[in-house]
Chains A and B, each alone.
Chain A
Amino acid sequence: MKTRIDNIDNNIYNIKTTEEYEKTEIGLTKEVIERISKEKEEPKWVLDIRLKALEFYNKLELPNWGPDLSEINLDDITTYIKPKNKMVDKWEDVPEDIKNVFDKLGIPEAEKKSLGGVGAQYDSEMVYHKVQDELKEKGVIYTNFDTAIKEYPELVKEYFTKAVPINDHKFIAMHYALFSGGSFVYVPKGVVLNDPLQSYFRLNSPGAGQFEHTLIIVEEGASLQFIEGCSAPGYNELNLHAGCVELFVKDNAFLRFSTIENWSKNMMNLNTKKAFVGTRGKIEWIMGSFGSKVSMLYPMTILNGDYAKCEFTNISFAGFGQNLDSGLKVIHNGKYNSTAINSKSISKDGGICTFRSNIWVKSNASKSKLNVSCESLMLDSKSKSDTIPVDFIENDDIEYAHEAKIGKISDDTIFYLMSRGISEEEAIKLIVRGFAEPISKAFPIEYAVEMNRLIDLELEGTIG
């Protein structure tokens, strides 16, 4: 008989600060949008996109599938929060309170050790952005999205909204109406970045929304690893995250896009990510989802050139009160395209994990290969784990294999470990870490350690 102890929520992500803000906006109206745009001193073409998006937002319906989103009431959500200071490129210049939070999350330390550049967003605005001088000299641009609109308008115009259209769905329309902050990365032709860039998104205010926009262009033959981290302290009010990531991986280019998401358990995480990959280009998605109350996240990859590749590695961990609905979409639109999907989920304490995939092999994508593998681990019978994959195959000359498994931790394995003197709780942790290992291996070492720590934290109190 298992007894349940409430989740321990004393981790570093739960640091709360009381900020004073220069400006806040609540709700989504034409006036709010105009004020945000004015505040940011944006050009008219950007305001036009925001207003067009608002029209779509008002017209589009909530999705008729997936988790219940009726709780979201934009009238109650703080849609724009501007901290008092401007964005800086020296940690010393970041205000003390905010700096303390990022210090505790280990961001400056990671920058020193292993990163080529760092961006840090606090609520609606980026507060810090820095890229190594050496990379700047090679023509690498890594800045916040608002700065990119002002300093590289032609580049932004060429790509912005081109991967994810403003009318894709209701929440992306909301995003384009309210977007603020986020990162812009441009890696010129042939430039290979050995150290990853990292953007960290922190949503501090209760009842607030975060709508950052990340746009990454990896030119021909270039290579980039990008890490995205997200966290927020827990509050009773509902927080909302509706970010957008647009990725362009050109011919022969490579992009590894890693995300560790540990939003607080009061967060509605409705993120949209899409990548276009050119001939012989490759994208690797690595995702770890631990936080959020409700998450709907299905990164999309369009393999547009011959021999383009996609690898997708994902782990979701849903605990008490969490409904994590995630997966991916892939379109094969070239010959010899290949996709490998490896998704794992763990649910416990009534948590719901749903894996959804949409795979479309178009009629021109002959000699394509796809391999889909999803595994779910249930730690109790209060939880739920659903696998809902849709495959649309329009070409006869492909190889496609799909397999999914659902299972529990074997009593024999626990018994074996316990007979070796390991406690039941530690045995379960060992088995879950083993289950997650193929995914954690894909993360840089610091993040793999962090992920294992998060798994341990999530399993705290499972056995009594």
Chain B
Amino acid sequence: MRLELEKRAETSKRMSVLSPLIAIALTGISVTLMFIALGVAPLAGLHAFFVEPLTSVWSWEELLVKAGPLVLIAVGLSVCFLSNTWNIGAEGQFTMGAIFGSVIPVLYFDFTSAWALPLMILMGALGGMVWAAIPALLRTKFNTNEILVSLMLVYVAQYLLDFLVRGPWRDPDGFNFPESRLFDAAHVLPKFGDGRLHLGIALAVVAVLLIWFLLAKSLKGFEIKVIGQAPRAGRFAGFSQNRTIWFGFLLSGAFAGIAGLSEVSGAIEQLTPVISPGYGFTAIIVAFLGRLNPIGIVFAGLLLGLSYLGGEAAQVSVGISNKMTNVFQGMLLFYVLACDILILYRLRLVRSAPAKEAS
């Protein structure tokens, strides 16, 4: 018995919808096995991880708070990935967006006009774009690997944030805690409901609609996909690869920057040394699980948002580590990538030794 791959005549439409679901199911099975290995009753564990976070209004709101930045970053990244450009430094662009966006609430805290918030959002986008422009520039000008550059900049951005909140931006009345001053009410994103749900989720929805339009209805979207799948054909059509790289990086940088700003201005309301549980990296998983499709990304963002809440709930109610979240996320991406093969190939179990056919 051995596994054979048989190429399909054309890509399977059915499988391109089913494969992420199969991946989720396989991840669920693996998580169950892990619960058993850890000595947790599997049903109680699964209930704590996937269902418990959805049993109260408060936690539904919290789910949206977590899913918001994931979806916002992931739709931006999907444009990059579709054009075969690898921006994996969204975490750094997120951090820079938070830093740039905090210039007004931290340094010009007296400026409380109605223009303050829109300006902060613009500054956040600018921060992310500046940080994303570096790998784009180095890639297009010097052919430097954008994966490594964008990733290295994550660490640099995190050290810069650490420096600011421990040094020049530390709250003068903050008893020496490494935190900036609390943002003025005029610098905090409007809230809905009774939890922490803030305007950031609306920004994410707008971004999803924009990218859906871009990819499905515009020439630019077509250009991105052609450059990604057939760069040579794209060149003949007069599409510029460098322009696409710039476009992808600036767009995803801006989105990540806005996500960073909305996290500090909506959810945390001040700058702290750590502002993200790895949203920028998790968003990569969200983008792939959503099959680089804006609508798919919405569902994927909700599931991965749930995994953050599920990890915490499982820690409280069945006593396993909340690191389960990261394991879940990592396994999920593996299964998503592996299941993608079902779109192009048929899997077959072959009984006889197939090596002899060739002769």
**A-B interaction:** no
